Amino acid sequence: MALTALKGKRLTKKAPRAKARAGIAGIELDRGFLVFKDKYHLDADRKQIVESTKTYIKSNYNKSDASAILANPEYKFYTFSHYGAISYWLNSGLPADEHTAVYEKGIKKYLATLLDQGKLILKEKKVEEKNTAKIVSLSPMQRLQRKISDTIMQDLLDLEDQWMDGEKTTIDLYKLFQSYSLSGSATLPVRQAIEGWLLDYEDAYHKRDEQAVEGYAHLKRPELNRRIKACQDMLLDLDKIQSATKANRKVRVPKAKSADKQVARVQYKKEDNDFKLVSINPILLIGSRRLYAFNCKSKKLIEYCTQAANGFEISGSTIKNFDQVNSRQVTLRKPDEFIPIIQKKTINQIDVAWKKLTTKTSIPNGRINKDTILLRVMDK
């Protein structure tokens, strides 16, 4: 029956959905470079490939050669993802082997070609700069002043002409500023012109200045009062324009550093022979949510936790974003007995064992130093 129903119909196999790229933060680093390279090819986006490659260039070439290489178009740095993978691996100080040597040789050969191409690009740029050096360019302030003169100031001059002709016209400065795409920085010369008008009209209205009274003797008091009100309204519009500019001002968001750059200067103890402990790679801290560390000198066990969406970040040798309420440290009397619990047990089991310790628990300061062993990180 099923075959009869399907007879004559063409069956099409649905193509599997492409795997969404999750980024390189979750790639395992302890399975060797070749496994890492394959994962990197699948998960790294263009921005991450470019960033890793450029960091390698800046770290391994002098300033002149690096500038020449980086003068090449952007696509030159993400066309081959394996160059980004070997760059990331070497930038992070991860173990080298025969495979990394092959790929490092390959990227150096590739960058040698970019160096030659980049030198030609820079040479051509110098020629272009010489050709355009004689062209006079206006500064941003000069361009703004020219725009003010050509737009809003012309409207004010037209308004003044209309008033001299006896017309009872007004203008909406707020809308005019919007139509000309002028911001609060353009209000000063406009304000100075209108305040000059207002002073003259008020002096004439209140008879405070003989020259003003004589100059506007042809105007009746209601007209002087109307012009005073028009000037005051325009000054209020200028205040609103300045307030709107402040409200719409862009906030500069600090750019997050890549994981390999964050751990470049971190100080920690790689290995301790007395306690027979070896640190994990500090790059694993970035993005993690829990860290266990041990200070071999003070015998303090430290647990850092974070509620931040992006996990831990590191600045120098200081852990950022850690939760001071839930993070804790304690002095161990018998480190050899307690540290294995940290290395193998679950969070709940560690918490139960921690509560049985008789020494006082305190809040850590977030700093890692040359006596600190990085024991373990967790994602929760």
Instruction: Work out the average pLDDT over 334-363.
Output: 89
- Mean model confidence pLDDT for the chain: 85
Q: Is the pLDDT of residue 152 over 80?
A: yes
Q: Is the pLDDT of residue 18 over 60?
A: no
Question: Where does the pLDDT of residue 285 fall: very low under 50, low under 70, confident under 90, or very high at 90 and above?
Answer: confident
Question: Where does the pLDDT of residue 22 fall: very low under 50, low under 70, confident under 90, or very high at 90 and above?
Answer: low
User: By mean pLDDT, which of 100-114, 254-268, 276-290, 305-319 is the weakest?
Assistant: 254-268
User: By mean pLDDT, which of 82-86, 187-191, 251-255, 328-332 is the weakest?
Assistant: 251-255
Question: Where does the pLDDT of residue 231 fall: very low under 50, low under 70, confident under 90, or very high at 90 and above?
Answer: very high
Q: Is the pLDDT of residue 216 over 60?
A: yes
User: By mean pLDDT, which of 7-11, 57-61, 376-380 is the weakest?
Assistant: 7-11
- pLDDT value of residue 178: 92
The angle subtended at Cα 85 by Cα 81 and Cα 88, nearest 5°, is: 135
Share of the chain above pLDDT 90, in %: 36
Question: Where does the pLDDT of residue 251 fall: very low under 50, low under 70, confident under 90, or very high at 90 and above?
Answer: low
User: By mean pLDDT, which of 1-15, 161-175, 185-199 is the weakest?
Assistant: 1-15
Instruction: Work out the average pLDDT over 227-252.
Output: 86
Q: How many helices (H) and strands (E) does the chain have?
A: 15, 9
Q: Is the pLDDT of residue 232 over 90?
A: yes
pTM of this structure: 0.39
| Contacts of range 174-182, beta carbons closer than 8 Å, 24 or more positions apart | 174/237, 174/240, 174/241, 176/151, 176/152, 177/152, 177/237, 177/241, 180/147, 180/151, 180/152, 182/147, 182/148, 182/151, 182/152, 182/241
Domain locations along the chain: 21-127, 140-246, 259-378
Secondary element (H or E) of residue 38: helix 33-43
For the chain, give the number of residues: 380
Q: Is the pLDDT higher at 232 or at 75?
A: 232
Please spell the DSSP secondary structure of 109-160, one letter per residue. Answer: HHHHHHHHHHHHHHHHHHHHHHHHTTS----HHHHHHHHHHHTHHHHHHHHH
Q: Is the pLDDT of residue 121 over 60?
A: yes
Q: Say if CB 339 and CB 294 are below 8 A apart.
A: yes
pLDDT in tens, 39-70: 888 888 888 889 989 999 999 999 999 999 99
- The DSSP bridge pattern shows strands 318-320 and 313-315 to be antiparallel
Q: Tokens 């000198």, residue?
A: 297
Q: Is the pLDDT of residue 20 over 50?
A: no
Instruction: Work out the average pLDDT over 166-179.
Output: 92
- pLDDT value of residue 134: 64
Q: Is the pLDDT of residue 16 over 50?
A: no
Q: Tokens 């990394």, residue?
A: 100
Q: Say if CB 378 and CB 289 are below 8 A apart.
A: yes
Q: Is the pLDDT of residue 254 over 80?
A: no
Task: Spell out the alpha helix ranges (H) of 248-362.
Answer: 259-262, 335-344, 347-355
| Ramachandran category for residue 322: left, alpha or beta (phi over 0 → left; psi -120 to 50 → alpha) | beta
In angstroms, the CA 87 to CA 106 distance is 11
